[in-house]
Amino acid sequence: MIRNIYILYEQGLEVLKPHIEDAVEQMMDCFPRHKANYPITTLGNWHSDKAEKMLPNGNILLEPYESVDWYIANAKLKAMEQNRWQTRGQISIDQLYTDLSSDPYCKKIPQWSVLVTKHDLYADGLNFCLGVSKENAFSIVSTARFIDRNNCLDVEGFKTVVMHEFGHLIGLTHEGRANTSEQLGSHCTNDGCIMQQRMDGDFRDITRVRLAAKKLYGLPPICSDCIESGEKFFTRQQAVYDYTHGILHGGRNT
Ligand SMILES: [Zn+2]
Ligand SMILES: [Zn+2]
């Protein structure tokens, strides 16, 4: 085992559990040599046993980093400061990114997280975001833009974005790669690949192609350039793992 992959989501999204798991699983299926080293565990609406603290006045304080609720509440607080919560009901993706980047659990034991929120996300200078990721660390995805007027979720469209963000987490479109462009971060330019960027947030075409390619030809959701990048990423991870563990054993034995 090299890294745990943890799936986290807000309360109310339990029904999406199998779909989020399947999306991550399908991406890991593209790397059969490495998949077993990265077990997927769903923690859902996770909180530790010290998530909440009762204040003398009877109010409940959410302890930083100790629950999904805290991450969401902090992103909402930022959105209130920036008047986005009041005007558009959005929460700050930048705050989520900052907080997940300094997660003490992850610092202690490196792990990958996929956090799904039902809130609409915004970033400075953008009306909305579907998600964001940090390589070798985490992905954040919102369901908000996939819910229609009848409160129905476009499950496959949402899954495409989970896969896309997870693809960033595993370094598929690193800067300087062939067949990538640099709009809102680095993206694949190959037709039919889910690592392409849609500036308008409309992943419906890409989702249709993804599903048809899988059904008709059993093809993976990412192109061969992306698979090649992923192979390099996982090989690097393995090398770092072997190196650090080799050193630790050496230190203990001598
Ligand atoms: Zn992207
Ligand atoms: Zn690609």
Whether the CB-CB separation of 167 and 222 falls below 8 Å is answered with yes
Q: How far apart are CA 106 and CA 84, in angstroms?
A: 29
| CATH assignment at residue 239 | 3.40.390.10
Q: How far apart are CA 168 and CA 230, in angstroms?
A: 10
Question: Ligand 1 mean position to 169 CA, how many Å?
Answer: 10
Model confidence at 234: pLDDT above 80: yes
Q: Which ligand is nearest to the CA of 163?
A: 1
Range with the lowest mean pLDDT among 25-39, 103-117, 141-155, 169-183?
169-183
Look up the domain containing 177 and give its range. 5-53+60-253
Q: Which ligand is nearest to the CA of 131?
A: 1
Whether the CB-CB separation of 155 and 23 falls below 8 Å is answered with no
Does residue 117 sit in helix, strand or coil? strand
Q: Which ligand is nearest to the CA of 168?
A: 1
Number of domains in the chain: 1
b/e per residue 226-235 (b: at least 16 CB within 10 A): beebbeebbe
| Model pLDDT for residues 184-207, shown as the tens digit of each residue | 788 999 999 999 987 677 889 999
Model confidence at 151: pLDDT above 50: yes
Question: Ligand 2 mean position to 49 CA, how many Å?
Answer: 41
| Model pLDDT for residues 153-184, shown as the tens digit of each residue | 999 999 999 999 999 999 999 877 777 776 67
Does residue 215 sit in helix, strand or coil? helix
Structure confidence at residue 215 (pLDDT): 96
Average pLDDT over every residue of 208-232: 96
- HSE of 253, CA atoms in CB hemisphere, 13 A: 6
Report residue 59 as tokens: 């109010």
> Residue 26: which pLDDT band, with cuts at 50, 70 and 90?
very high
Q: How far apart are CA 124 and CA 24, in angstroms?
A: 28
Question: Ligand 1 mean position to 48 CA, how many Å?
Answer: 31
Q: What pTM did the predictor assign?
A: 0.93
H or E element, residue 140? strand 138-142
Average pLDDT across the chain, whole number: 93
Structure confidence at residue 247 (pLDDT): 65
Q: How far apart are CA 186 and CA 102, in angstroms?
A: 23
Percent of the chain with pLDDT over 90: 84
- HSE of 3, CA atoms in CB hemisphere, 13 A: 23
Question: Ligand 1 mean position to 197 CA, how many Å?
Answer: 6
Question: Ligand 2 mean position to 223 CA, how many Å?
Answer: 4
Structure confidence at residue 254 (pLDDT): 47
Model confidence at 63: pLDDT above 90: yes
Question: Ligand 1 mean position to 12 CA, how many Å?
Answer: 26
Model confidence at 138: pLDDT above 90: yes
Question: Ligand 2 mean position to 219 CA, how many Å?
Answer: 13
Question: Ligand 2 mean position to 102 CA, how many Å?
Answer: 30
